Copies of this chain bind each other. A is one copy, B any other.
């Protein structure tokens, strides 16, 4: 099996509050190709250490990937230091320079002089196109080692790896193929899930199963290996089918999709439309729904009614109801869902009202109390939730729960 090392470059990755996460995604991609990651290095703006890290990695491993340090500023040193570590010259590439200039021109900007630095290329390297940024990547074959220098921002790094690095590495890697899958679960806790499925997954060495808790979602990670990708996928199919039978509708995604993607797809194929009224989530549900490309097909409108007056004026909630039951109540949640649905003229209306904290809680209505509601033309339902966590987490979990309510209705 081919061995790889990953070097993450940037002083900010050595701060107490941040670390490299690009390598997690890269590791998954490399594992799929049957390439084993043996070492990761995180290094800052320290030319000597970076040079040694690159030189050692190239000497020890068949694949070396660096991320970061390709920007236009003084402390973006990857190109320069990598050239030194490999004993190669750095040369100005006119076609890269032209492309960077064009990128700026596209936005009617003059290229700052320092961006020309990004057109410096290591002698003998192939230039990797960066459609999402100004820093091109580099790919070098050097004494039996394949070296890829990639940009740090994930939005630039990932597409570049997929388009330019993966095909080059696939050629070099051997027979074993890996496949992975992430099942996502809503409405069940980590231990409840494990109790149900441990008797199944512990019987398998291949695929391997890991249960992870990730903010409001429990994820079941499966990984399998076989001679072909299809055979590895078949192993995953068999096990995930068994897990699904046990967990039922609680599994909402089989390929790592987000809840908003799953709900969006169901709305899209069914032709139904949706409007949403939010209080404590403050636009988070609308934002998640509209983060999906093509959401204008089913998402019609959202109302963030923070004040009671807004709940009445924008959603037609009876002020007497707010007075008697309180803004955080089952009946106000239902009235919000019905109101937004009726005014927007959509098939479904969703609503969330609750206390996200840290202030605003009382003995009777504590922080974390949230009501969610769903209205269609036939009837309206609600759920009462007691959500643990801080403001951020309460809001996220409430948004997840209300989307899940709709998902289950759409099944």
Contacts and interface: CB of A to CB of B under 8 A. Distances in A.
A285 interface: yes
A73 B307 contact: no
A303 B304 contact: yes
A40 B41 contact: yes
Interface string A289-330: 111011110011111111100100110000000000000000
Given A306-B296, A390-B132, A38 B46 contact: yes
Contact of A39 (B44, B202, B359, B388): B44
Interface in A1-32: 10-12, 14-21, 23-25, 27-28, 31
Interface of A is mostly: mixed
Interface string A217-228: 001010000000
Contact of A21 (B19, B56, B303, B313): B19
Interface in A271-285: 276, 278, 281-285
Which residue, A73, A213, A219, has most C-beta atoms of chain B within 10 A? A73
A191 interface: yes
A386 interface: yes
Interface string A121-136: 0000000000010000
A163 interface: no
A287 B290 contact: no
Contact of A286 (B40, B132, B219, B283): B283
B386 A108 contact: yes
B39 A41 contact: yes
Interface in A24-66: 24-25, 27-28, 31, 37-46, 48-49, 52-53, 56, 60
Contacts of A291: 282, 391-392, 395
Interface stretch (A80-88, A110-118, A139-147, A371-379): A110-118
A42 B188 CA distance: 28
A27 B211 CA distance: 27
A327 B195 CA distance: 52
Nearest to A38: B46
A349 interface: no
B210 A11 contact: yes
B287 A358 contact: no
A180 interface: yes
A290 B302 CA distance: 15
A46 to B, nearest CB: 5
Contact of A283 (B194, B219, B287): B287
A131 B119 CA distance: 56
Given A291-B391, A306-B290, A307-B301, A27 B11 contact: no
Contact of A302 (B12, B48, B303): B303
